[in-house]
Every structure is written in structure tokens, then in C-alpha cells.
């Protein structure tokens, strides 16, 4: 199975980068590229943008991440209500490791009281 449509080199390169060495993903992406190769190029653009933001966030403190992403009013309201679900959602957007989120929330809420 191989892609042979428009922008051959660019699309094949995008498929390799998106598939991350997963043969099932390669097959799916080749099939989608055959339907509309622009999807593959768009998905790669989204992935690269998310990767850039992840690198940017990883160098920031939590307060800097909150300021950069602008969820501050939502954060303040969730902290006041002790709304763990909203806090977890915001922390995921802030690129906090999923396994660390519950502990982080408990520490934040304990410090608040």
C-alpha cells in the first residue's frame, strides 16, 4: 500500500511523521491521503503546532502556563468551588502530566484552605 497522488514527497513524509512507526496508522493515513491528501498535510500542521506549544509550555512555570493559556477566571472559579473536574481539564491544557494531576490538585486545594 503506497500513496501515489499529488505532492507525493510531501504527503509521504507527512504520513511517516504522523504514523510514528505504527503500521496500522500508516495504512489508515495512506487510505485517507488517497481520498484527500490535504487532510494529511493539515493533520501534520496541527501536530507540529501542538508540538511547538508543548515545547513552549514545558519551559514555563504553572503560573506562566495559566497566563499564556488565559484560563485564569475559569481557574479561579474552579479553585473557589473545589471543582476537581474543571481543574483537571485546565491542567491537561497546561501540559501537566496526567498521572500527576490528581496529586497536584489535592496539594493546590489543601494550600488554599
Model confidence band, residue 42 (pLDDT cutoffs 50, 70, 90): very high
| Residue 23 near residue 30, CB atoms below 8 Å | no
* Model pLDDT for residues 58-95, shown as the tens digit of each residue: 888 878 887 888 777 888 899 999 999 999 999 888 88
Segment 28-32 long-range contacts (CB within 8 Å, at least 24 positions apart) = 30/1, 30/2, 30/3, 31/1
What are the boundaries of each domain within the chain? 8-54, 60-112
Question: What is the spatial distance between Cα 4 and Cα 55, in angstroms, rounded to a whole number?
Answer: 34
Alpha carbon 77 to chain centroid, angstroms = 24
Cα angle 83, 87, 92; round to 5: 150
Model confidence band, residue 113 (pLDDT cutoffs 50, 70, 90): low
Q: Per the confidence metrics, is the pTM higher than 0.85?
A: no
> Does 11 have pLDDT greater than 80?
yes
Amino acid at each position: 500500500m503506497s500513496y501515489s497522488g499529488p505532492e507525493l514527497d510531501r504527503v509521504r513524509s507527512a504520513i511517516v511523521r504522523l504514523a510514528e512507526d505504527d503500521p496500522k496508522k500508516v495504512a489508515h493515513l495512506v487510505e485517507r491521503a488517497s481520498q484527500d491528501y490535504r487532510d494529511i498535510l493539515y493533520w501534520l500542521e496541527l501536530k507540529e503546532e501542538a508540538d511547538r506549544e508543548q515545547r513552549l509550555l514545558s519551559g514555563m512555570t504553572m503560573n506562566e502556563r495559566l497566563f499564556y493559556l488565559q484560563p485564569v477566571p475559569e481557574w479561579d472559579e474552579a479553585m473557589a468551588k473545589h471543582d476537581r473536574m474543571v481543574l483537571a481539564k485546565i491542567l491537561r491544557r497546561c501540559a501537566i502530566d496526567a498521572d500527576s494531576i490528581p496529586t497536584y490538585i489535592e496539594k493546590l486545594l489543601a494550600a488554599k484552605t
